[in-house]
Structures are given as C-alpha cells and as structure tokens.
Structure 1
Amino acid sequence: MAAERSLRRSLREAWQGRMDSMRQHLADVENTPGLSLLCLLGAATGALCGLVILALHTGIHLLQDPLFELFGVSGAGFTETSVAFRVAVPLLGALILGLIVEWVLKSAEYGIVHIIERLVYYQGVLPVKAAVAEFTMSVLALTTGQSVGREGVAAHTGATTGSWLGRRLDLPNNSVRTLVGCGAAAGVAASFNTPLAAVIFAMEVVMMEYTIAGFAPIILAAVSGSLVTFTFTDVHPRLVAEYSGFSPIELPYLAFVGAVVGVAGAGFTRLCGALVPVLAKVRISLRIALAGLVTGLLAIQFPQIMGLGFDTVNGSLAGQYAVGMALGIGVAKLIATSFATAAAIPGGVILPTFVIGSALGSALGTFGAMLLPGDATDAGLYALLGIGAMMGAVLQAPLSALVVILELSGQTGLVLPGMLVVIAALVVSRRISVSESLFRLLLRRRGLDYRNDPISQYLRRASVLSAMNRRFRIVEPKIDRAALDEILENKIDWLLIRSREQRASLMRPGDVARFLNQEENDDIEEVDLYKIPGKRMDAYSIHVRASLQEAFDMVNRNEAEALIVERNVVGSNAITYGVLTREAIDGTYRP
C-alpha cells in the first residue's frame, strides 16, 4: 500500500512538473516552444468547435422539421408558409425565449459582445453555463424564424471551449485569451466555411490586435473547425456568387453603392443603440416578445427575413428580386434585426448583414442597369459587394468584409471593386455612427469600454511568469543569525518575509548584509527583519495564471510596489513562483 501511494505521488509530481514546464513556455508565446504548444491547443479548440456547430445544425433540424409538419408545410421554407405561421411562430418562440431568460437564466449574456466583455474584464474566463444557455436558446430562436444569425452562438460556444480548455490545463491568462480568439474564429469559419475571413474577424473584431503569436494558433483553429464541417455541405449551404466582370465606367456608381450601403449600416448601428436603452426599461420577457412580434409582422409581406436567410442571399445573388421587393427585404431585415439585437435575442448579426447587404446591393444593381444600359453588370455582382459593404460598415472591419467577398465568390477579380465599395461604406458609416462598431456600441451601452492602446495590448499578451524574478528566498521575520548568513551567501535578489500577523514584505539582501557587517551587531544571534534599517516593500499576492495587465492594474489599484506570484493548492500552503515589482512591469514595455 505504501509503495502504491509513493508511486502515485511520484507520478503526480512528474505530471505537475511537466505541466509547470508547459505553462512556463506558454507564459511567453513569442518563443518557439510556447508558440508551438499554443498552435496545438488552438487546433484542438477549433476541432471541438466544429463539433459544436454540427450539434447546433442537428438541433435546429430536430426542432424545425416537427414544427413545419405541425403547420402542414413539411419540407418547405419560411417563404412558403401561411401568414398565420409567419406571425404566430416568431411571436410564440420569442415568448418562450423571454420566459426562459426571465424565470430561469435571470440574465442575457450572449454572443460576440459577451466574448469581448469577458476578454476585457475577466481575462477570457467564459462561464460554461452561459454558453450552454445560448446554445439551447439559439436553437429555439433559429427554429422559430427570429431575425438573428447562428455565428453568435458559434463564436460564443467556440470561445467558451477555448476558455474551458485553458482553465482545465491551468494555463496562463495570456494563453487563455488566445484560445478564446481561436474558438471565436473556428465558430465563424465552421458556420460559413470562410476560414480566412474568420481569422481576420477574430483578430480585427474580437482580439483587436495583430500579432504572429495570435495569428498562428487562430489560423489552425479556423482550419480545423472548417475541416470538421467541410464534408457536411448542408451545414453551411453554398452561396452561389457568379459574375462576368465589371466595366470601369461602373466604378463611380460602385462607390455610390458603397456609400448608400454605408448609410444603411450606420443606420442599423444607431437604431440598435437607440433601442437598447428604451427596451431596457421593459421586462426582458416582454421586450423579447416584442422583437418576435416585429419580425412576425414584417414577415407578412417579406417572409424572406425569417430564419438564417441563405436562400434569400442566394436569391439576391441570382437577381431574382425586383427593385421594390429587394429594397423591402433589406429594410425589413434591418428593422427586425435591430429589435432582435436590442432585445438580446441569442444569435448573431453577421448573417443578417449578409441578407441586408445582398438585398440592398441587388436593388441598387438593378437600378444601375437602368441607368447604364449595356454597361452595368448584373445585379449579382452588386449583391455580393453589398454583403461586404454592409458587414464592413456594421462591424467596422474592412479586411474581414473584403475577404468574405473573395472567399464567397472565389474570384480575385473582385479585389478592386470590393475595396472601393467596402471603403466607401466604411467611411460613410464612420461619419454617421461616430467611428463605432456595433459591438463596441453595445459594450458601451452596458457601461463598459475597451482599452486597446499599445501598452495594454502588450501587457495582455504577456504572463507574470515571463517577467517575475525567481531569485528569492522565503524567510520568517525573526531568523537565526547563522541561517541568515547562509542564505545571504546565495545569489538572490530578494528576501520574502512572511508573517501570519502582517502582510508579506520584500527586502533587498544588501540592506540586511550592511546591517550585519556593522561592528556593533557582531554579537546578535537572532535578527528581526522588521526592525533592522532598510527598505521594505509590502507585497500583494497575484495568481500565477495572471497576465501582466492584471499585475499592472493590481499595482496601481493598491498602490503596491511589489507582487508575489503564487498558486494556492488545496490542503497545503501556497506555492510561490517569483517576485514581481512595479519596476519589472514597467520595464517590459519601456526601453
């Protein structure tokens, strides 16, 4: 029995040693070992996220098929249903969603805004309960035709998967943040089969920074997430976007189209921002029900706004809608999605921007053909460019929008018109909506903001493990002279004085040595480190997983001069890893 316990202890210590070594590598992901490990973890996160997308797709079909059979429209889409179905189903679905949120969940924390909030204020720690709740409710929302997309739940569950994996392995918070970005990218990639756009979206919108250490694992996550769903073609129906080129004479009109769609994008953002404080005064069950009612009433005339909208986008790309119908679909979808977003119906806004942008682009393309007979390209090109323009205007993410156009079309010839339209939409929307993306606006409506200056970016990427000083010894306040002399013979930089009665303190060995070397102190047999002359710094405890941003905030908040990096272990004393001073933190970003 004793031998078995000893073996278990040895195995546990060996495992802990390997894990500590891995965490040390991940504390500085700029080095090759740390980046390699993070890439492997990113790929694993992406694969797990792909499985979640498959589960989401399956859940929607398991609920939607019986629902359509109940109304006698089995195998049909929302556009082929009766008026009663279009009004009743979104309203009843929203009522159920509202009651679940109000009675069971007590709060509504969903989607990409929630991811950004947790990255900024909680170091990437996302509650699994919130992700499970959004997954379940998104299935219900998408089944009942609410005007939302599925990329919100895909990104949220993916980000939560990355966060959960990082916390299970007890990784440093800087690595957890990157895994959250990996999950968000994998979710978007698996939803639309656009891995490159998903990578840029994660860096441009979620992480809000571009680094090699971030790009590499996020790329692998997007690839692995797409590969899991790649063989299931009905998971992300193909958007058929074909065009036969464009004429240079169209370029001024293309810029005009971008500007018009930019106005629509800014209007969408501002409408959402205006509705949030108004609906916040209403009980959450009633405001979600109101959003469902708005969708149902608009769907009486424009049923194309219900559900995911892939068929509607393909209809716009094929030029199937007349100018009036296309404009109506675009405006109705904009209004319905604004109410759904402001009411906090779980889902996303990216796929709705596809529907809005393609419909408005198709209408403007058809109108352009009237203005430039024989010179204008068909409406499909304008519908495709409208998708990028609307996405870029709403998300303030021009690179993501441009890459979406290229990946959906597979045509590099769209680079020139795509850049023109997307930038025109971006400039106009920034002028109208004060340079804010929808996610940043919704974050501010919660009373939160996002620090994204270069110093904060750097500090969030680095762990306390990469900057702490490991040359220290832990001592009692009162210590025998001989023991103290032995400690001082070692090459250490700090004495960490621990006492049950007082906060831990740090003292330089040189101050103690000078005191002991004085002739009048030769006969001292016991030294009280709290009473001898010398500078002592109160030291606060910080967890070994913390980032340098957390350390920086703690130092400023407590007006502390030093921190002790440690991990609490159940049933035993804390394990101390190192000492981190204010000067060491400042030295990481100052030359």
Structure 2
Amino acid sequence: MRERLLRKLEYINKWRMKKISNRNFLVILAFVVGIVGGLAAALLKGMTHFIASALQDDVDWHYKYSVYLVFPLIGIFLSVLFVRKFLRGKKLEHGITPIIYSISRKSSRIEFHNIYSQIVTSALTVGFGGSSGLEAPIAYSGSAIGSNIGRFFGLSYKEITMLLACGAAAGISGAFNSPVAGMIFAIEILLPEFSIPAFIPLLISAALASVISKLLYSEPLFHTTTMGWEVEALFFYLLLAVLVGIYTVYFSKISQWVKNWFAAIKNPYNKVWISGISLGVLIFIFPALYGEGYITIQQILDGRFDAIVKNSLFSDYKDIGWVVLCYTVLTLFAKSIASLFTINGGGNGGVFGPSLVMGGLIGFAFAFGMNQLGIVQLNVPNFVMAGMAGALAGVMHAPLTGIFLIAEITGGYTLMVPLMLVASISYFINRAAMKHSIYTKVLAESGDLLSYEDKDRTVLSMMKLRYVMETNFVVLKPDERPIDRQSDIIHSKRNIFPIVDDDGKLLGIIYSERLFSILLDEQEGKDKNFAVLAQKPNDIILETENMEVVMTKMNRDDVWILPVVNKDDQYLGFVSKSSVFNKYRGLLVRQGMYLK
C-alpha cells in the first residue's frame, strides 16, 4: 500500500514538473507551508497553555509556589525522556543556530522528526515552568516543514532554502500573530541576501500562518493601549537603549559560559537534576520566572506595577516602590540564568521569548525607577515595549524584527520612532562588543557560517580539504633510484612525486624537472636513492586544517601545490590551487543561486 502511494506521488510529481514551473510551484508550496506552519504554531501554543493551566488553576495560591520547586524538574525530565525513548538516537537540537547551520552546511536539510519533536519537548518544558520561549522551537518546526516538503518534491537547494525560510516565517507569524515580523525575521536571520521575488512566498506563508493560528488560538500575546510618545522623553529612550545594549552584551557572554559549563557534564540526567532543581529554587523566589514570563509583562502593560512582587515571598512589601524596583532588577538577572539553565539542562526552548521578557523588565525598571525619583514622569508601558524591541535587536542582531514584532503584537505603531531608536542603538552596542549574534557566534568560530560581508572567506570555509585533495601521484620509496622507476616517472602526468617510507610517512618530495635531469645526464645522481635526493617541501598541510589556512600557506610561500599528511606525518595526497579554484567556482555558483 505504501509503495503504491509513493509511486502515485512520484507520478504526480513528474507530471507537475512538466506542467508547472518550479517558480510557480514554489508559490503553491508556500501556501501549504503557511497553512501547516500555522497549525503547528496553534498546536504548540494550545498544548503549552493547556499543561500550564492544568498545573496552576486547580492549586490554591497560598501553597502552589511551593510545588513549583518540582514542576520545572518534571518538565525537563519528560523532555529528555521523550528524546531518548522516542527519537531513539536521533539528535534533538534547539534554537535558531541549527537552522542556520543546515543552510550553510547541510543543503537546507532538516530531519523530519523536528516537525513534531520540537513541539512536544518545548510544550513539556515551558508548560511545566521552564523559563524559555516557544518561538525558536516553532521556527525550527516550521523550517523542518518547509525543508521536508521541498525535498519531497525534489526541488533545488535555493528552492528548499526558500521553503525552509517560509516555514520559519510561518512559525514566528503563527506564534505571535505577526506576519510582517515573521517575514522580516526570515530575511534578517536566515536569508541575509535576498531578492524582491523572495518576498512573495514569505508573505504568503507568514500571512496564512497568522490567519490559521488566529482562527485556532485567538488569544493575543499582548494587548495594550498606546497613547503615543512625547518628544521630551526622547533623551530617556536613548538612555534606555544604552542600558538594554549593555545588558544584551552581558547576556550574550553569560550564555556561552553557561553552555560550556553544561557541556562539561556528560550524563544527561545529571543536567536534568541540576537545571531542574535550580529552576525550582529560582521560581520559588521569583514567581515571574515561571514559563515564558509574558503574563507578568502583560500585567505591567495593564498598569499593575506591583504584579512582579505579588504572590512572591515579598508580597507584603508590594506597595513600597523601591522594593518593587529592586525586586525587578533581581528578577531580570535571575531570568537570564533561568532561561539558560532551561535550554542547556535538557529542556527545549529558545532565547527569543526570554529576550522579550528581559527587555520588558529593563524598560519597566528604568521608567519606574525614574518615576520614583520624582524628576520626571515617564509612560511605563511605552518604555516596556521599547525595551522589548531593544533586547531582541541586540541579542539576535535583528533590529527590524524587534521593531516590527513589538509594533505588531502590541499595536504600538505610534511608538515607531522610539522603537527604531532603542532597537538600532542596542543593536550597534551589541554588535560593537560581539561581532556575531548569540545564534551565529558558534558557527562563525567553527567556520560554518555563511557570511555575505566576506564572500571569499565564506566560500573557502564551505570547502572541505578531503574534497579538493588529489591522490593520483606516483609514490617513490626512499631506497629506490630514479633509474629503477624510470618508466613510472616518464609516464606520470604529474610533475611532483612524494617520497614515502614503508610506514607511510612523508620524507620529502622531488619534482619531475630534477628527475629528468638525472635520467638524461649519466653523471648526475644516477646511483643516488630517493632518500638522498628528497627535497623538503615549502610547507605541509595537516588533514584537520581548514581551507583558509591552506590558502594562507600557499600564498605566503607562493607555491601552487603542497602535500597533505595526518597527525602521524603519514602521506595522504596533495592539494593544489587548481583543485581549490575549481571547487571555489562551483561553490560560488551555488552561493549565487542561494536566492537568485
């Protein structure tokens, strides 16, 4: 039955290839990706909030924060258990970084299981109180939908990449009910070089996902009434931008430290215990850390400034302004730790949502603190929204996404100028301190990042040494003489010969010009063996070195070809500029087709 279905689908696809061009078919598939992405976003939001409601609504508030000590632990444990038992050895990655890596290194291929595994694990993690966001998992799930649909229909790399981006845009659009922000997110993060036709599939997918998600799960993320902003407050928006930018640098740096610390823990269940218990303690002290944290931000936007302290251990002091301010600052830094512990301890989620919450808390603390001083009276909700845009712009290096996302989900288009200022300044501060975003830093360090600022370096980083290494060379032994290998030397199409001992170690090289001189001149070196005649190469290439290092060595010594050895100095082959340039041309064509 399954084989018959596959044959039928293959027949339909062949008919489609004859009747419908890939360009037009891509638009049709963008509709499909948008609908499925919207369904996935609605499903994830519904599952997460169902779990959270089931855990909270039936528990009296006088003691429910005590049981929060175990909820995050249970959620992360169930997430890890799902991966180990149901995925059976398949790797579950989280965040936006693996999506970017799949574009750079895996021909935009994302494993099928990510369509559902991202939804299940993130719903368990966040629903049970994990302090992370749902946006990265749904973007990953949407990308997997687009990637697998494109591969199923046998589309090219650039077309699969476009559908992958459509899926990510659909996921973000469905999660926030913000189609413009979803489209801009895909362009800023996944498609840094794009052409105008790329807008069409992205617009279709993002718009459809937003409609589907709104039909199935109509609850808005935030709702607020924006009264506009005053020019007199511009100086304070600039101060806020600097604070947010500095905080995003701190968060970017500490995220790498926490990731490395958890990476040193090999047992996955030890990570669960450490992260789960730590989260439980943090949530017990700072209840606002439970789950995504959007509820607290909404309460602040509604003018309930004491909400962050209410129901906490310090609720008796909720009417004291400076207690609220200090507690907010502590919650802010606790949020950074809680979100990173959730993600790296085995739970699934991203820093997209936590960035919004942290930015909102910074904006609230800044405006509320200024009001407490009595020097000025600032509109607190406006500064909360501006802080959210600035944090997203700094952490993700995506200022346009931050601006339009906050404008869409809050209806705050009248705040466009403050959003633009805070987002752009925060972005430039983070960019000055951190060349790469939290998503791309690891890829840049490993040479796996597509960069359009330095295309030569990017194309070189895409090459693997083993694909440009040539091995069809005549190998000479150290105890042999030129006369012994005369026939092989004369008929070789190469002008260089490696001299290798019985253990496979490279002893040196010799060029054909030198060998022909010996063979034609009876007096020159006839009786000398290759151990004596061997020349030391200008340099050698280790099999583990990247192509940027290879070209640096070649250019430094102005040589055209160098031998390749392993860590034991055993000969493997040669790499030449000719083979590198041929591969370079192929990759340059492919990169040019990325979004032609």
> TM-score, normalization: structure 2?
0.69
- Give the unaligned 5+ runs of structure 2: 1-6, 307-323, 460-574
Q: Tell me how far 1:585 sits from its aligned partner.
A: 4.6
Distance in structure 2 (CA, Å) of the matches to 1:201 and 1:143: 25
Q: Does 1:324 align with 2:326?
A: yes
Aligned to 1:272: 255
Do 1:246 and 1:376's aligned partners in 2 also have CA atoms closer than 8 Å?
Answer: no
In the alignment, is the contact (CA less than 8 A) between 1:91 and 1:289 conserved in 2?
yes
Counterpart for residue 546 of structure 1: none
Q: Aligned-pair distance for 1:179?
A: 0.1
Select the residue among 143, 149, 152 that pairs with 2:133.
149
Check conservation: 1:272, 1:339, Cα contact below 8 A.
no
CA distance in structure 2 between the aligned counterparts of 1:329 and 1:219, rounded to whole angstroms: 37
Change (3 A) 1:123 1:258: same
Q: 1:359 to 1:10 in 2, by over 3 A?
A: closer
**Contact between 1:189 and 1:226, CA under 8 Å: does it hold in 2?**
yes
Overall identity of the aligned pairs, in %: 24
CA distance in 1, matches of 2:190, 2:336: 23
Amino acid at match of 1:415: M
CA distance in 1, matches of 2:9, 2:348: 45
Q: Out of 67, 71, 95, which is 1:85 matched to?
A: 67
Pairing partner for 1:184 from 165, 168, 173: 168
Note if contact 1:95-1:286 (Cα within 8 Å) is conserved in structure 2.
Answer: no
Partner of 1:424: 425
Q: Does residue 296 of structure 2 align to residue 312 of structure 1? A: yes
Q: Distance in 2 between matches of 1:583 and 1:325?
A: 53
* Distance change (3 Å), C-alpha of 1:130 and 1:169: same
For 1:427 and 1:353, the matched residues in 2 are separated by 17
One-letter amino acid of the structure 1 residue matched with residue 249 of structure 2:
A
The separation in 1 between residues aligned to 2:428 and 2:10, in whole angstroms, is 58
Are 1:247 and 2:230 counterparts?
Answer: yes
Q: Who is 1:470 aligned against?
A: none
2:213 paired residue among 221, 229, 253: 229
Secondary structure at the aligned position of 2:223 is classed as coil
Contact kept, 8 Å, 2:192 with 2:452, in 1: the verdict is no
Give the equivalent residue in structure 1 for 2:408: 407
Checking the alignment, whether the CA contact within 8 Å between 2:95 and 2:351 is kept in structure 1 is no
In structure 2, the residue matched to 1:393 is 394
Q: Give the deviation of 1:187 after TM superposition.
A: 0.2
Indicate which of 365, 368, 371 corresponds to 1:366: 368
Instruction: Report SS of the residue matched to 2:96.
Output: helix
d(CA) in 2 for partners of 1:444 and 1:455?
Answer: 12
Contact 2:171 2:209 in 1 (8 A): yes
Go from structure 1 to structure 2 and tell me whether the alpha carbon gap of 1:170 and 1:381 turns closer, same or farther (over 3 Å shift).
same
Within 2, Cα distance between the matches of 1:325 and 1:184? 36
Contact 2:165 2:191 in 1 (8 A): yes
Q: Is 2:46 aligned against 1:45?
A: no
1:286 matched residue in structure 2: 270
User: 1:61: Cα distance to partner?
Assistant: 4.7
Residue 582 of structure 1 deviates from its aligned partner by: 6.0
Over 3 Å counting, the alpha-carbon distance change for 1:50 and 1:382 in structure 2 is same
What code does the residue aligned with 2:579 have? E
Q: Select between 402-411 and 274-283 the one with higher mean Cα deviation.
A: 402-411
Quick check: 1:181–1:218 contact (8 Å CA) kept in 2?
yes
Could you tell me whether the CA contact under 8 Å between 1:246 and 1:377 is conserved in 2?
no
What CA distance in whole angstroms lies between the structure 2 residues aligned with 1:406 and 1:11?
43
- 1:352 pairs, out of 351, 354, 359, with 354
DSSP-derived class of the 1:231 partner: helix
Partner residue of 2:579 out of 538, 559, 562 = 559
Structure 1 residue aligned with 2:520 = none
CA distance in 1, matches of 2:12, 2:576: 37
- Distance of 1:141 and 1:557 partners within structure 2: 50
Amino acid at match of 2:72: P
Distance verdict in 2 for CA 1:10–1:339, change over 3 Å: closer
Give the structure-1-normalised TM-score. 0.69
State the Cα distance separating 1:116 from its structure 2 match.
Answer: 1.1
Summarize deviations over 1:550-588 as a string: whole Å, max 9, x none.
xxxxx999939999xxxxxxxxxxxxxxxxx96995997
Report if aligned partners of 1:135, 1:153 keep a CA contact under 8 Å in 2. Answer: yes
Structure 1 residues 258-292: Cα deviation after superposition (integer angstroms, max 9, x where no partner): 11111111111111111212211102332243222
What amino acid does structure 1 have at the position aligned with 2:14?
Answer: Q
State the Cα RMSD in Å. 3.3
Q: Which aligned pairs between 1:48-59 and structure 2 lie closer than 5 A?
A: 48-59=36-47
Q: Which amino acid aligns with 1:55?
A: L
Distance 1:306 1:557, change over 3 A: farther
CA spacing shift, 1:81–1:348, aligned 2, 3 Å:
farther
Q: Is the 8 A contact 1:242 1:381 kept in 2?
A: no
Distance 1:336 1:11 in 2: 47
The residue number in structure 2 matching 1:485 is none
Which residue of structure 1 aligns with residue 439 of structure 2? 439
2:504 alignment counterpart: none
Q: Structure 1 counterpart of 2:115, which letter?
A: A
